[in-house]
């Protein structure tokens, strides 16, 4: 899979691409991730990418030209173009699964002050990572990329994401490691029993209990389509 990201702040991606599971996935060629500087596509002699908005108002607006040219350059037949914006559809695990089956994603990071409305026409999908406003789409694009890359074949053990929160619209069950008792808090007996049928039953029960208590909205099941 290939993921191309269009941004005004390429430096923000350095740590993200060079650490942990993402770095390993790149090294092992499970994914190719390219960061493109929107400014490089500007035809303006000062590499300007934004301007005042028509009609007046605070803030600079990202101009269409650099983004249209970048998409013309990078979009191929099997490319899905995603625009990161708080006005997009809410990002969910189900969408992470669907996107992990694509061949090529081109992610456009929106601008803190806004982008020319015509840029929307380039996107196959507009995605929001939550009902809050970030200074730009960069962190959002990293969130989306991270959640997709970990689902790609061979990036983490299959079993690790089979139990993820949100699969089956349920939160994950609690897990414990050594020691068996810490500051008076004990590991539940059942986990030490060696009885795997009982352990599975307990884990399922915990998933349901936890979801009922913390995220009853998930149990309606329609949020993750």
**Active site positions, annotated:** 86, 113, 150, 164
Q: CB neighbours of 89 closer than 8 A, spacing ≥ 6?
A: 95, 125, 126, 127, 128
Q: Is 140 in the site for ligand ADE (CB under 6 A)?
A: yes
Residue of 100, 137, 170, 206 that binds ligand ADE (CB under 6 A): 137
Task: State how far the Cα of 40 lies from the Cα of 38, in Å rounded to an integer.
Answer: 5
Stretch that binds ligand ADE, among 6-14, 131-139, 164-172, 211-219 (CB under 6 A): 131-139
Place of tokens 């960061």: 35
- Pattern 2-41, binding to ligand ADE, x per CB under 6 A? ----------------------------------------
What residues form DSSP beta bridges with 51?
A: 61
Task: State how far the Cα of 86 lies from the Cα of 89, in Å rounded to an integer.
Answer: 8
Q: CB neighbours of 161 closer than 8 A, spacing ≥ 6?
A: 150, 151, 167
Stretch that binds ligand ADE, among 21-29, 123-131, 158-166, 209-217 (CB under 6 A): 123-131
Q: Interaction with ligand ADE in 82-111: which residues (CB under 6 A)?
A: 84-86, 110
Q: Which of 74, 78, 67, 73 is nearest to 122 (CA)?
A: 67
How many binding residues for ligand ADE (CB under 6 A)?
Answer: 12
Q: Is 134 in the site for ligand ADE (CB under 6 A)?
A: yes
Task: Give 62 or 71: the residue with its C-beta nearer to ligand ADE.
Answer: 62
Task: Give 7 or 85: the residue with its C-beta nearer to ligand ADE.
Answer: 85
């Amino acid at each position: 899979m290939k993921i191309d990201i269009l941004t005004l702040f390429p430096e923000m991606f350095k740590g993200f691409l060079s650490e942990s599971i993402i770095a390993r996935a790149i090294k092992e060629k499970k994914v190719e991730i390219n960061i493109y500087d929107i400014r490089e596509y500007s035809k303006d002699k000062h590499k300007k990418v934004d301007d005042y908005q028509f009609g007046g108002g605070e803030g600079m607006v990202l101009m269409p030209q650099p983004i249209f040219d970048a998409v013309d350059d990078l979009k191929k037949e099997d490319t899905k173009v995603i625009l990161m914006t708080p006005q997009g559809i809410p990002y969910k695990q189900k969408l992470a699964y669907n996107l992990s089956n694509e061949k090529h994603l081109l992610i456009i990071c929106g601008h803190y002050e806004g982008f020319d409305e015509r840029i929307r026409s380039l996107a196959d999908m507009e995605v929001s990572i939550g009902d809050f406003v970030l200074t730009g789409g960069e962190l959002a694009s990293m969130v989306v990329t991270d959640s997709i890359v970990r689902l790609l074949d061979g990036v983490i053990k299959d079993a690790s994401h089979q139990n993820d929160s949100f699969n089956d619209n349920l939160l994950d069950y609690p897990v414990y490691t050594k020691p068996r008792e810490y500051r008076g808090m004990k590991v539940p007996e059942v986990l030490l029993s060696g009885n795997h049928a009982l352990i599975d039953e307990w884990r399922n029960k915990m998933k349901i209990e936890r979801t009922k208590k913390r995220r009853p909205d998930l149990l309606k099941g329609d949020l993750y389509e």
